[in-house]
Structure 1
Amino acid sequence: MPETPLRIGLLQCGHVHPEVAADLGDYPELFAELLAPHGIELTTFDVDHDQFPTDLEAFDGWVISGSANSAYDDLPWIHRTEDLLRQMITDEIPMVAVCFGHQLLAQAMGSTVAKAADGWGAGVHAYEFLGEPEPWMVPPPSAPVRVIASHQDQVTALPDGAVLLARTDHCPIAAFTLGPTAFAIQPHPEFTAAVSRGLVERRRDRIGAEASDAALASLDQPLDRDLVGGWMAAFLRQAAAVARARP
């Protein structure tokens, strides 16, 4: 029997490079392609253009997207989005925060975000998931999980009460949970190899020639994006059930 659809709001915090998005889709299309097979129906709020939701509890949960901005940029829409994330944590509203979203959640809850000492993370990275798999990790990881990275900033310390889930040598805090209703992950499971290729080619000057060549060479590796997309959906379902059970 098909699972009941979940109505999820997408806080779109930025946009994929327009030349890449024209062919392969922007965040709403990329997340829809990843999550629709798992019964997720998305409604987008373009928060970096001041399109904010008025009722967080009108949806079963939320996904917070990536962005070309830094979490520490002093922009009104970033501060307002931080306020929303703090409200979600306080009210135990389900969320999955991705890349910039992962960083902004950590910052909103008192942690810090900074540029990685060894530069950009780009292309396919292998993430080590730690400890016993969570109940929503079905199937569980049997080896390092390979998904696309695309970031220069990263979380430098866990927020109070967070549980570290995944790491790499480049990114020691690559995923965490915060309470029963928040899951944050640094890489981009919504990105395909083609999206990564398009972004790396257009950011070569920023990423650097050597790191760009390594990233492009990595894109022949198989990706576990469908696995992580399933985890995201399962987490949102579990968290929504927790939220509905509250007195």
Structure 2
Amino acid sequence: MKVGILKADSVLDRFQPEFGDYPDMFRAALGAAGGEGVTYRTYDVVAGVYPGRPDECDGYIITGSKLSVYDDEPWIHALEDYVRLLDDTETKTVGICFGHQMVAQALGGKTEPAPGGWCVGVHEARIVESIAAFDPPRERVRLLSSHRDQVSRLPDRARVIAVSDDCPVSGMAVGDHMLTFQGHPEFCKGYSRALLEYRKDILAEKYVRGVSSLAESTDETIVSRWMLGFIAGR
């Protein structure tokens, strides 16, 4: 199976020696979830690099980004167009954080700043629709979070698959070909802690809650397994 990574940002240089870049994180997370034989190709969409054809890979992952999907940037508009192409061709697509919000916006939904501001650390979401790829099934999953925007209106054809107290659209599906999550299954706790330290001043009291939450267990391996199964067509 070949997975394309639509890279919408880069990890800060100061963190890359220890944690790698976003494609490295996804390769590690999916590899730990049983994807040892998967091959990957990275497309730097910020630089305008895209697959020649959607079927160049079996499926795609849209990464997170420090920018917002509603920012007026040419590369963001181009990515919106490409998401619509992936939808039109019913190509398997997984969106994470910014990628989750991008799928919503590109298909007619809306993303806005979250009323509660930054959402950081470990957060639990309730699974309200369990699709075939969710094997093993779970009623709830905990993932590391780092976002201040959220999907506020679904696209017409989208279904909510996960909800949380902080983020009403924590997961979403479109048909049988698009699956998105607000949380970060690719993050490790070390990287999450580094981000919390980096943003300590702007997070204020949320910094303390975020750091404390890192003692909780997380389900990145389960969600990564779901992603693999989804792209594989299970």
Interval of TM-score (by shorter of Structure 1 and Structure 2): over 0.9
For residue 175 of structure 2, what is the aligned residue in structure 1? 179
Distance in 1 of aligned mates of 2:233 and 2:38: 13
TM-score normalised per structure 2: 0.96
1:194 lines up with 2:190 in the alignment: yes
Question: Which residue of the partner structure matches residue 220 of structure 2?
Answer: 225
Q: Deviations over 1:47-81 (max 9, x none)?
A: 11222222221111101000001001111111111
The alpha-carbon deviation at position 92 of structure 1 amounts to 0.4
8 Å contact kept, 1:10–1:63: yes
What is the rounded CA distance, in whole Å, between the counterparts of 1:19 and 1:84 in structure 2? 31
Residues 1:23 and 2:21 aligned together? no
Matched, 1:146 2:156: no
RMSD: 1.1
3-state SS in 1 of match to 2:14: helix
What is the SS of the residue equivalent to 2:153? Answer: coil
Give, in angstroms, the shift of residue 222 of structure 1.
1.2
Alpha-carbon separation, structure 2, partners of 1:165 and 1:77 = 28
> Which position in structure 1 is the counterpart of 2:77?
79
- Equivalent residue number for residue 105 of structure 2: 107
Amino acid at match of 2:121: G
SS of corresponding position for 1:102: helix
Q: How does 1:1-247 map to 2 (within 5 A)?
A: 6-36=1-31, 37-38=34-35, 39-131=37-129, 133-142=130-139, 144-206=140-202, 208-238=203-233
How many Å separate the matches in 2 of 1:161 and 1:223? 30
Q: Which moved more, 1:11-20 or 1:219-228?
A: 11-20
Deviation per CA, 1:114-160: give whole Å up to 9, x if none: 110011110000111114x2111111004x21110110011001111
1:214 Cα deviation after fit = 0.4
- Cα separation, 1, equivalents of 2:17 and 2:150: 28
The code of the aligned residue for 1:136 comes to: A
Q: Distance in 1 between matches of 2:41 and 2:210?
A: 32
**TM-score normalised to structure 1 length:** 0.91
> Matched residues, percent identical?
37
Q: Secondary structure at the match of 2:75?
A: helix
Amino acid at match of 2:174: L
Structure having the higher helix fraction is 1
One-letter amino acid matched to 1:119:
G
Query: CA–CA distance in 2 between the matches of 1:234 and 1:53?
Result: 22
Contact 1:8 1:61 in 2 (8 A): yes
In structure 2, the residue matched to 1:243 is none
